[in-house]
Amino acid sequence: MRRGPGRIGAAYLLVGLLAIGTLWQLLTWTGSKEEKGDAVRLLYQVSLFQMEWLGSYMNDAGGVKSTDQLDSLKQAAYSAGYTHERLTLAVGGGRLAKLSSVDELLQYILRLQIGGARPLKPEEAETLQQASKTYRKLFEDYGKLLTAGGELIESQSTKVSKADKEIAELLRKKLK
């Protein structure tokens, strides 16, 4: 039995296709890491925007006179918390802490609004002002959370967590 030129060509073609397929998988695998970094960086930009939006409403909270004026702040807090949660999942590994202060802020606003539209008490307005001051620090540190390449800066994450805990404790005390 003699091997013909067609069988040898088919064998070379098969080996060539396998080599190209393997190279393609390697390139796709290394490229997917870059895409994940890009996705994290883009999600961080969205989260940062949401946090800035929340910060602007927190700054305005000092001028709020009644509970029905807190709806925009509540919506901004929910949106910022949701986006940050997704960023936490994208970064992975539990390296980025959840912002419990946002949840506490939502609970505080809901507690204030539970009785319907009414004027804010002076101590309630003061609590919002105190939280706003600490949120400024949190937002400042949040803006430096990732490198340009999309890598988490652990020291900034620690600073964000510290400010977050301070705000959460303040609001928890007021909820009791």
Sign of CA dihedral 22, 26, 29, 35: negative
The residues facing 66 across adjacent strands are: 119
The size of the chain, in residues, is 176
Give domain status of residue 7, yes or no: no
Computed over every residue of the chain, the mean pLDDT equals 86
Give domain status of residue 81, yes or no: yes
CATH code (residue 109): 1.20.120
The fraction of the chain above a pLDDT of 70, given in percent, is: 83
pLDDT, tens digit (0-9, with 9 covering 90-100), for 62-73: 788 999 999 999
Full domain range(s) for residue 147: 34-175
Give domain status of residue 141, yes or no: yes
Report the number of distinct structural domains present in the chain.
1
Question: Are the CB atoms for 135 and 55 separated by under 8 Å?
Answer: yes
Question: Are the CB atoms for 99 and 84 separated by under 8 Å?
Answer: yes
Give domain status of residue 10, yes or no: no
Residue 4 gets which letter from DSSP? P
Q: How many CB atoms lie within 10 A of CB 18?
A: 10
Nearest CA to 117 out of 172, 68, 54 is that of 68
- Window from 29-33, 138-142, 145-149 with minimum mean pLDDT: 29-33
SS3 150: coil
pLDDT for 36 equals: 55
pLDDT, tens digit (0-9, with 9 covering 90-100), for 3-43: 556 677 777 676 666 667 666 776 666 555 555 558 888 99
Give domain status of residue 13, yes or no: no
Q: How far is it, in rounded angstroms, from Cα 80 to Cα 146? A: 17
Q: What is the mean pLDDT of residues 140-147?
A: 92
pLDDT for 112 equals: 93
